[in-house]
């Protein structure tokens, strides 16, 4: 029987999983009379093989453990930076819309700007609440301890408050008079009104899709490798073009509406922030983290 990999070392763990898969498939290669490979060729084949579910789960779990151990001040500053960075989703989206002609295809192009904030946050390793509906939850499901659960709640509260504070600050900044052209300001207002155009139930249901997609994106990133940027753009573009409410990107939009008197703060809180927060959390925790853990815990992560 093969030795178990050292759980404290991520490289041997991934290598063990891949080599185990290669050994198990060896009889297929023999049956097909494939030519023998040189040692460096076998190593290259192992490196190119995709991560299986178990290895992906372990990578996410270790990322989550690192996040749960971070001090509150570090989480707060990183969360504030992420909230500010997410403002570029609304800004670039609106700039594109302002420079495009009125046409049915305009949203298909302008919504590409929605990905910009996510690119800055994820590639910049900043703390975003919706990412932590996966990374912070996996260690809790794996350990099932009160200490881990308390740390998860601490992380969620600190990051969410910091994200929203950054979003509010960005919304205030772009609302400064004469900072942008009238066309861009009209695009800001259209984006803000669109975010508040649905009732609470519809906002909640669509927010589940947003939380689901963002958590799935985080789940896919360890295997994406050099295609990480492509994965981020594609998934967040789908969130944007579907107008699926996102608690932080959307907060910039609705905070702008509140700052400019386009909507009341009670409407913003009850009609958008609360149902979006609940939907995003449900989509990330139940539909991604919970199902991923169930698959691995039942043995589905083994080849």
pLDDT at 117 over 60: yes
And the tokens for 138? 């996996």
The verdict on residue 6 lying in a domain is no
Q: In whole angstroms, what separates CA 231 from the centre of its chain? A: 11
The verdict on residue 3 lying in a domain is no
Same domain flag for 27 and 71 = no
Q: Which residues contact 181 (CB under 8 A, 6 or more apart)?
A: 98
Confidence of residue 41 (pLDDT cuts 50, 70, 90): low
The verdict on residue 5 lying in a domain is no
Same domain flag for 27 and 127 = no
pLDDT digits (tens, 9 = 90+) for 202-213: 999 999 999 999
Confidence of residue 144 (pLDDT cuts 50, 70, 90): confident
Same domain flag for 266 and 184 = yes
Same domain flag for 32 and 138 = no
The three-state (H, E, C) secondary structure of 208-271, written as one string: HHHHHHHHHHHHHHHHHHHHHHHHHHHHHHHHHHCCCCCCCHHHHHHHHHHHCCCCCHHHHHHH
d(CA 90, CA 72): 28
Same domain flag for 179 and 146 = yes
The verdict on residue 4 lying in a domain is no
> What CATH number is attached to the domain comprising 113?
1.20.1080.10
Same domain flag for 66 and 97 = yes
d(CA 130, CA 261): 28
Please answer whether residues 281 and 131 qualify as being in contact, where contact means their C-beta atoms are separated by less than 8 angstroms.
Answer: no
Confidence of residue 31 (pLDDT cuts 50, 70, 90): very low
The verdict on residue 55 lying in a domain is no
Looking at the 3D structure of the chain, how many domains does it have?
2
Domain that holds residue 36: 11-48
Same domain flag for 25 and 92 = no
Confidence of residue 289 (pLDDT cuts 50, 70, 90): confident
Same domain flag for 218 and 269 = yes
Same domain flag for 149 and 29 = no
The verdict on residue 185 lying in a domain is yes
DSSP 286: I
Same domain flag for 18 and 146 = no
The verdict on residue 79 lying in a domain is yes
User: Stretch 143-150: mean pLDDT, rounded?
Assistant: 89
pLDDT at 292 over 60: yes
Residue 4, pLDDT score: 47
- Of the CA atoms within 13 Å of residue 7, those in its CB half-sphere come to 5
pLDDT digits (tens, 9 = 90+) for 238-282: 999 999 999 999 999 999 999 999 999 999 999 999 999 999 999
Same domain flag for 136 and 237 = yes
Same domain flag for 84 and 204 = yes
The verdict on residue 26 lying in a domain is yes
């Amino acid at each position: 029987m093969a030795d178990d990999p050292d759980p404290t070392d991520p490289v041997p763990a991934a290598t063990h999983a891949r080599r185990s898969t290669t050994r198990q498939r060896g009889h297929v290669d023999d049956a097909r009379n494939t030519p023998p490979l040189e040692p460096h060729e076998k190593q290259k084949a192992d490196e190119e093989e995709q991560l299986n579910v178990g290895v992906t789960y372990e990578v996410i779990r270790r990322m989550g453990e690192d996040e749960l151990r971070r001090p509150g001040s570090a989480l707060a500053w990183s969360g504030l930076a992420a909230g500010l960075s997410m403002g570029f989703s609304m800004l670039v989206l609106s700039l594109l819309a302002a420079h495009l002609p009125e046409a049915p295809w305009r949203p298909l192009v302008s919504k590409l700007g929605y990905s910009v904030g996510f690119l800055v946050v994820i590639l910049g390793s900043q703390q975003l609440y919706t990412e932590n509906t996966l990374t912070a939850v996996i260690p809790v499901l794996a350990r099932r301890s009160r200490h881990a659960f308390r740390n998860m709640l601490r992380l969620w509260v600190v990051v969410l408050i910091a994200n929203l504070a950054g979003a509010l600050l960005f919304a205030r900044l772009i609302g400064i008079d004469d900072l942008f052209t009238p066309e861009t300001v009209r695009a800001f207002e259209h984006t803000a009104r669109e975010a508040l155009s649905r009732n609470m139930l519809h906002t909640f249901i669509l927010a589940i899709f947003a939380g689901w997609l963002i958590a799935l994106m985080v789940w896919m990133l360890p295997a994406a490798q050099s295609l990480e940027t492509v994965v981020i753009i594609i998934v967040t573009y789908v969130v944007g073009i579907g107008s699926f409410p996102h608690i932080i990107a959307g907060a910039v939009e609705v905070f702008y509406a509140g700052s400019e008197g386009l909507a009341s703060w009670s409407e913003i809180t009850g009609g958008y922030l609360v149902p979006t927060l609940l939907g995003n959390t449900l989509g990330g925790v139940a539909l991604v983290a919970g199902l991923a853990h169930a698959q691995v815990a039942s043995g589905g992560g083994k080849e």
